[in-house]
Amino acid sequence: MTAVARPLRHEDHGMLLGQLALVLAPQARTLPVSVSLLLLLLLGWRWLLWRRRAPLPSRWMLGTTALLVLLVASALAWQAGGGVGRELAVALLGAFVILKLLECRALADATLVTQLSFYLLLTLYLSDQPFWLALYSLAIGAWVLRNWLLLHHPEARSRLAIWPMLGRMALLGLPWAVAMFVLFPRLEHPLWQLPQSAPTGTTGLSDTMRPGSVGQLIRSPALALRAEVAGPPLPAAVLYWRALVLWEYDGTTWRPARQRLHALAPAPAAVAAVAGRHGIDYSITLEPSSQHWLLVLDRGQALSPSAEAAVTPDGEFMSRRPVDQRIRYQARSTLAPAPEALDAATRRLALALPAGGNPRARALASAWAAQHSDPAARVQAALRLFAAAPFAYTLSPPPLGAEQVDSFVFDTRRGFCEHYASSFVFLMRAAGVPARVVTGYQGGEYNPIGGHYVVRQSDAHAWAEVWLDGRGWVRVDPTSAVAPNRIERGLDAVLGAETSAWRPAHQPGWLQDVRWAYEGMVYRWQRWVLQYDHAQQARLLATLGTGASAGQLLAGALGMLCLLALVPLWRRREHADPLDAAYDRFCEMLARHGCVRAPAEGPQDFAARASARLPQAAAAIAAVAAAYIGQRYGNADPARARQVAERVRAGTRDIAGVLRRQKSSRL
């Protein structure tokens, strides 16, 4: 569109102001509060001027404001470590677009503001791409297009059905967009990645465990992962999502053995069944955690190659880079792992305890060792202790003393999963049974509409594994001895009122159905749109079975769309009046020779003007015009329209020949 130098009306300013406010509103999700307030202040200033029909600020005032904005941006950049990240860059763009609106006086200025609004819409996708944002940006993008049309053609408001026209344009462009999205060759890795303004904290499991560390996560409704399991839903008691194995204990904190974490081997990549074992195939969409571990169901066996994972001797799957963005991978796990050998170094690690401390717990464990020669019987003795004594499962345990295990087992007897897992492993090691702590998540909410599990940070859990001769490492969850409903029915069945403030399970049934439908939509959006990568595209092409590459299919699809785009033109040409079509060609031919017909110019006036300009073809021009006028405006027989159209076409060819010969003779 060509910008015309004309002043803007009051309603044009209001339209631009509302448009910019709607474009900038979602930026408040990611921008710092101070930056959002600055943008709101600038928008409020512009709104007051528009509301009061006050004159726009002077260039001196705008320059001063721009300088203040740059000073604020410099202070924020210095506070963030001297770099200008994407949030600050977006904020600067938004601030200067508002300043441009404050000096917007002509149509050219309004056009620039409208074009920059499209850039601001694109910046909404730099942080994340939720489902609702796609719908919002499409709606606002259509609104901006509508405003752009009205800015340049105010008369379109009364002469055009604008929204139906935009709808037809969107429908025409939809097949092209789908073809480009599905078939355009996908890269295995992004070409570039935008930097963050500053490191951002992510809620999730830590690589250490101490009393209260897991309980803190229980209050977080943030997503940890979504999982889609092949086959029917699994029992809740099976849903142990394994993250880390903790070996070393200093009397307060459990930590992983660093030498085992660094002993990495390539993760098995073939997700295939293991003969004689119960296997489960599933896919996981893991939320960002800024950690290296990849969660698997219980004892993982293999991960898809796209995860780029390595595995530790303890069955922990580790990504080669921190998980700082949502990833999806296929996995296979077994519920009946093969027995493992226990070498001497691992046995020493699984029996190690800090020197001294917790004498009552050590004495109790020694009594079990003397009473039961079978290690499995010692495990059962510990579970009977937790089940028989007045232990309680709570998020608000009393503080422990210096001897934490003694204080919990014999005094307070109130705690969360990390209290029970830590005390159980200590007792087992003191009783001579190799044991270790495992952290991860337990359970998850099954979405019957989406057909997948939703695991939240509030499902964080800690349990134990003991090594038994002939069976290898066996999972033992001491929490189930105290609060079996925690495992079978979830956290809410045990804690009740303690979780009512943040757990979605306390919502009414109809609201849960709405939430499940929305989460199912979000999951499909993430799976088929946001995570449509090279691997998914390759699987789609293999399913089609064409044998062609993505580029070849894309070229074929675009060629077919080009041919389909010509169909309306062909249909219009077939149904066009032959006489009008012939007369249009006559006018086009004269236009190429410098005689352009005006929109409101009749055939007689046009022929007279063309004859005066091209006297060498005046007779032929008059003949063509007379034939057209006689058939179109006279009492001629309608059946003769095709014959007259042919005479007009023949006359047009004669005129073109005369003009061509005259041009050649001049040369």
Catalytic center residues: 417, 461, 477
Nearest to 120 by CA among 1, 27, 31: 27
Question: SS3 of 468, please?
Answer: strand
Distance between CA atoms of 283 and 303, rounded to whole angstroms? Answer: 9
Residues 6+ apart with CB under 8 A from 357: 251, 403, 405
Print burial letters for 41-79: b (CB count within 10 Å at least 16), e (below 16): ebbeebeebbeeeeebbeeeeeeebeeebeebbeebbee
Nearest to 603 by CA among 651, 654, 549, 554: 651
Amino acid occupying residue 469: D
How is 504-534 classified by DSSP, letter by letter? GGGS-HHHHHHHHHHHHHHHHHIIIIIT--H
Contact 24, 113 (CB under 8 A): no
Residues 6+ apart with CB under 8 A from 113: 16, 20, 97, 100, 101, 104
Distance between CA atoms of 608 and 588, rounded to whole angstroms? Answer: 16
Pairing verdict, β 327-334 and 279-286: antiparallel
- The length of the chain in residues reads 667
The label of the residue with tokens 């200590």 reads 426
Distance between CA atoms of 266 and 318, rounded to whole angstroms? Answer: 10
Print burial letters for 389-405: b (CB count within 10 Å at least 16), e (below 16): eebebbbebeebeebbb
